[in-house]
Amino acid sequence: MPASVSPTRKVDTTAPLGGGGDLSQDRSLSLDYTANLKVSDGALDTAQDIQTTSTPQFARLGIGAAPSTTRRVYVYDITATASVDALYFSQRMTPETNNRTVSGITGYANLYQNGYTGHNAYGMRAACYANSATGSATVLTGLHVDVGNNSTGTVVNCHGVRIAMPYFAGGGTNTFYYGLTVEPVTGPTYIYGIRSRIAADTNRWNLYVDGTATNYLAGNVLVGTTTDGMTAGGSLAIAKDLAHRGTLVGFYNTTPAAKPTVTGSRGGNAALASLLTALATLGLVTDNTSA
């Protein structure tokens, strides 16, 4: 006769193993699973299919480190010693109808203020830093954009960076809109807010502004020179030819006027009086002469 087991003896289990208990009767052991595990045909498996053809869903994902509570996808790698991409997107589209759109990255940041103030929202945010005390970096680029035509087809418009028309649904208060903002910079020897290096040729423009709104420049404007010798902000220095193709001109804060006609006889003072009046009208002289 087999020996009996004292009912005071028991089998304790911890997850993922379940069941057990005191041995006063037959007990079963089972392999429990949570949201992370499942049992399939007696084998332990993930709760979601993660094959290359599957579509799993994750609340947060960490690659190279544990998931971050403030970043839905967190990629962390300090092992790279050669050229590497933390994230690489390659999306191909072969359309079967007209007017299709393909995007490498699409980002939306939807902010619901919920009655609170002082928030910030970024549709896309990039940072690039050099972090070593030795060596040098040739170029640091916060955002690098390549665009072009790799075949013989037709591309009508190419935009390195395109800022679409802003969307304001109406009813709210929208105080300022800036299509492009370059914040104050200090530190480097040379600072360029915007630099364009397109060489001169037919139908080429380094700056082409065809909007009809007023253009405001607070600093000095230099044309054909990098030095002006002027200290007052808003001054204009031109080192090349100036062609005025308009119909009105004014100097020294006078109201712009049309090209004057000087009349009168050169044998008397009538022509001189007419000339002085014309020059004064343009603002070139102040006529304090007497008759």
pLDDT digits (tens, 9 = 90+) for 204-260: 999 999 999 999 988 888 888 888 777 677 788 888 888 888 889 888 888 998 888
pLDDT, tens digit, 9 for 90 and up, residues 95-135:
999 999 999 888 889 999 999 999 999 998 999 999 999 99
Is the distance from CB of 61 to CB of 73 less than 8 angstroms?
A: yes
Output helix, strand, coil percentages for the chain, rounded to the nearest 5: 5, 10, 85
| 38 DSSP 8-state letter | E
Cα–Cα nearest to 30, from 48, 7, 6, 11: 11
With bands split at pLDDT 50, 70 and 90, how would you rate the model's confidence at 284?
confident
The alpha carbon dihedral of 169, 170, 171, 172 has a sign of positive
Residue 40, pLDDT > 70, answer no
Q: Beta-carbon neighbour count of residue 274 at 10 Å? A: 16
pTM, two decimal places: 0.70
For 46, the enclosing helix (H) or strand (E) is strand 43-46
Q: What is the mean pLDDT of residues 2-7?
A: 66
Contact indicator for 221, 237 with CB cutoff of 8 Å: yes
Distance CA 214, CA 228 (A): 25
CA separation for the pair 248, 64 (Å, rounded):
67
Cβ pair 196, 207 in contact under 8 A: yes
Contact 29, 17 (CB under 8 A): yes
Our separate counts of H helices and E strands in the chain read: 1, 12
Cβ neighbours, 10 Å, residue 237: 15
- Check residue 243 and give its pLDDT: 86
CB 35 within 8 A of CB 27: no
Q: What is d(CA 50, CA 56) in angstroms, rounded to the nearest whole number? A: 6
Beta bridge partners, 38, equal 45
- Please confirm whether the linkage preceding 56 is cis (ω < 30° from 0): no
